[in-house]
Amino acid sequence: MLKTTLMDIGAKRLETVWYGPPPEEALTLVFLHEGLGCVDMWHDFPYRLARTTGCGLLIYSRLGYGRSDVCSLPRPVSFMHDEGLHILPELLDRTMVKQCVIIGHSDGGSIGIIYAGGTPALPLKGLITEAAHVFCEEISLQSIREARERYVTGDLRKKLEKYHGRNTESAFWGWNNVWLHPDFKHWNLEEYLPNIQVPVLAIQGENDPYGSPAQLEAIVRQSGENTESLMISECGHSPHSDRSETTFQAMKDFILSIKMKTSPVSRD
């Protein structure tokens, strides 16, 4: 059963979608979208993964995205830290998620790393990152500059309006301006990697225009022996759509291995 709600977090409302078993009955998959993403931009990938693995599913649009409330601009350089250290823990607490695997794409993957390595992360049983960043690279900045050009003079704005509606401007400029802020060149998450206490699956496309293989290498090198990696050939920034079946199979196997090692969800 699919349940869509606007959930109050602080003084704002976030678009949330729940699908499958409730958190007191099964492991929950929590999807964190990319810098220009939202609930709807995942399409059917999360639902297929939840059905196949028998897990519950929680997806939400961050503030200023999708059908969530608007946000104030400009975003601070610390916006991913704020999400991973404060908003995500509150959301998991409010939704009473007891055991979860976080699946984060791009900025969402980075937020997942911050949450996993920067908080007690008590419900967390596993982390999947997809094209996550742990430091700023010129390849990322160049692609973000090119995205700005497509938004201003091309058709990117129209494509995003389909998913973000009134939030289109805040979704784009909130992401684009902060990544191109001079201070963002010093942004770095590597301090969180050694503190991650759960298994990690780190995925990246070989032809990712937003990050070099150094991102994946840093995650694997610094997050411990329970980390697996998958570099996918002929794949760009969105493995779940560019190479859907390869990505689906890898995530499914990882999640099922977590389920086998996880004790039954308590109803208490």
DSSP character at residue 199: -
* Closest residue by Cα to residue 95 from 29, 1, 164, 163: 29
Per-residue pLDDT at 83: 97
Whole-structure pTM value:
0.97
**Position 195 pLDDT exceeds 70:** yes
Residue 172's φ and ψ, nearest 5 degrees, are -75, -55
**Position 266 pLDDT exceeds 70:** no
**Position 268 pLDDT exceeds 90:** no
Give the Cα-Cα-Cα angle 209, 118, 92 (nearest 5 degrees): 90
Range of the domain at 207: 2-260
**Position 105 pLDDT exceeds 60:** yes
More confident residue, 10 or 23: 23
Q: What is the 3-state secondary structure (H, E, C) of 133-145?
A: CCECCHHHHHHHH
CA 129 to chain centre: 7
Is 37 contained in some domain? Answer: yes
State how far the Cα of 73 lies from the Cα of 69, in Å rounded to an integer. Answer: 13
**Position 265 pLDDT exceeds 90:** no
Supply 25's token pair: 């009955």
Which of 7-11, 106-110, 190-194, 239-243 has the lowest average pLDDT? 7-11
Per-residue pLDDT at 11: 84
Mean pLDDT of the chain: 96
Is 268 contained in some domain? Answer: no
Is 217 contained in some domain? Answer: yes
Per-residue pLDDT at 201: 98
Per-residue pLDDT at 261: 86
DSSP character at residue 196: -
Neighbouring-strand partners of residue 101: 29, 126
| SS3 at position 176 | helix
**Position 98 pLDDT exceeds 80:** yes
State how far the Cα of 114 lies from the Cα of 112, in Å rounded to an integer. Answer: 5
| Cα 79 to Cα 43, 73, 110, distances in angstroms | 25, 11, 11
State how far the Cα of 130 lies from the Cα of 202, in Å rounded to an integer. Answer: 6
Tally of domains within the chain: 1
- Residue 263 pLDDT class (50, 70, 90 cuts): confident
* Cis-peptide into 74, omega within 30 deg: yes
Question: Does residue 132 contact residue 215 with C-beta atoms inside 8 Å?
Answer: yes
* Residue 29, domain CATH: 3.40.50.1820
Is 249 contained in some domain? Answer: yes
Is 14 contained in some domain? Answer: yes
* Closest residue by Cα to residue 95 from 10, 34, 37, 9: 9
Is 182 contained in some domain? Answer: yes
Per-residue pLDDT at 10: 82
Half-sphere exposure of 73 (CA within 13 A, CB side): 16
Per-residue pLDDT at 246: 98
Question: Does residue 117 contact residue 43 with C-beta atoms inside 8 Å?
Answer: no
Neighbouring-strand partners of residue 127: 102, 200
pLDDT tens per residue, range 198-227: 999 999 999 999 999 999 999 999 998 899
Is 247 contained in some domain? Answer: yes
Is 266 contained in some domain? Answer: no
Question: Could you report how far apart the first and last alpha carbons of the chain are, in Å?
Answer: 23
Element (H, E) at 218: helix 213-222
